[in-house]
Structure 1
Amino acid sequence: MPSWNSRGLRGSVLEEALNITNEKYRMEKLALVQKIPTPITPMEIDKEKHHITLAYFEQKSTVDYVGNVQGIPICFDAKECKTDVFPIHNIHEHQMNFMKEYEQQQGISFLIIYFSDADIYYYVPFKDVLFFWERAKNGGRKSFRREELDQSYRIRFTNQIYIHYLEMLSKDLESREETE
């Protein structure tokens, strides 16, 4: 079982920014999106500081966030990557299965990827995630380059919302309507 601290706090900056964004969306009544906590089992506790120093994941989590945007159910996972190459193994099979099932139930699934060295955020529609996933499963590249992403889904910073992904969600919805 993996230790919760074995990967440090990778992604915590991205998740904190998304938590701030989601709180702003909630306050403005644009969306209600919540972080899904990953259940852990504490193994070692510093009794003086009341801190967990070692813990293990109890079960595989689904995705990082689930919510509703003005009647549209959404789920997404937040991923962080230091380089311009994103390894497919950073997306777990149980996450892909959850997002696929969510889509089958008329929900919208996607990833938000932060390429930290370039300081760039992308909204990656599920159809693109699925393309990269299946390419890897079928013996193709086990990663994708940032340049392979649809550049029109780059998330830009706007007014007081840190990672304004609702604009890209709207674009994704319009794209889905055009292909129906």
Structure 2
Amino acid sequence: MATWNSRGLRGSTLEDMINNTNEYYRQKNLALVQKIPTPITPIKIDKDSSQITLAYFEKDSTVDYIGVVQGVPVCFDAKECATDTFTMRNIHEHQIRFMEDFERQNGVSFLIIMFSGRNELYYMRFEELKGYLERVQNGHVNNFKYNELDPNFFIRAKGGALVHYLEPLSRDLDDRG
């Protein structure tokens, strides 16, 4: 079983930004999307701070977020990358399977990737992700580079939405026909 430690907090800034955006969307009646907690079993708890210092994951999680946007079911995962090279090892097989199953049910799956060195966010369509996965299966290195990404799917802040993913989601839906 996987264990948890402070490395698990790496994406907390991105998640805070997404959580704030989702609350903004909810208040504006644009979307209802919630963070899915990862079930853990605590092993060690710091007696002074009452914080969990070691735990294990009870089971594989699905994705970070799930909900509905104007009647469209969505699920997505938030990933962070400090460099211009994103390693595919950051995406787990059980997450890919869940996203694929979600798409089969006419939902929309995607990643939100924060390139923290550039302070830029990217909406990665599931089809694009599958293309990179297929490339790896065909012997390509297990990553993709920032400069390979579609400029139409970078995410900009807008109004009260720090991670305004509804615009690239709309483009994604348009491309699906």
TM-score class, shorter-chain normalisation, is over 0.9
**1:2-48: CA deviation from partner (whole Å, max 9, x where unpaired):** 32115241111000100000000001110000000000000012234
1:82 corresponding residue in structure 2: 82
- Whether 1:141 and 2:141 are equivalent positions in the alignment is yes
Which residues of structure 2 form unaligned runs of 5+? Answer: none
**1:51-74: CA deviation from partner (whole Å, max 9, x where unpaired):** 222111111101000000011000
1:125 corresponding residue in structure 2: 125
- CA apart distance, 1:104: 0.4
Structure-to-structure mapping, 1:15-164, within 5 angstroms: 15-164=15-164
Q: Secondary structure at the match of 2:7?
A: coil
Which residues of structure 1 form unaligned runs of 5+? Answer: none
Q: Secondary structure at the match of 1:7?
A: helix
Structure-to-structure mapping, 1:160-179, within 5 angstroms: 160-177=160-177
* Counterpart AA for 1:41: T
Identity %: 57
* Counterpart AA for 2:71: G
* Counterpart AA for 1:155: I
Which aligned segments of 4 or more residues in structure 1 are displaced greater than 6 angstroms?
A: none
Distance 1:48 1:146 in 2: 43
* Counterpart AA for 1:57: F
- CA apart distance, 1:49: 2.8
CA RMSD of aligned residues (A): 1.1
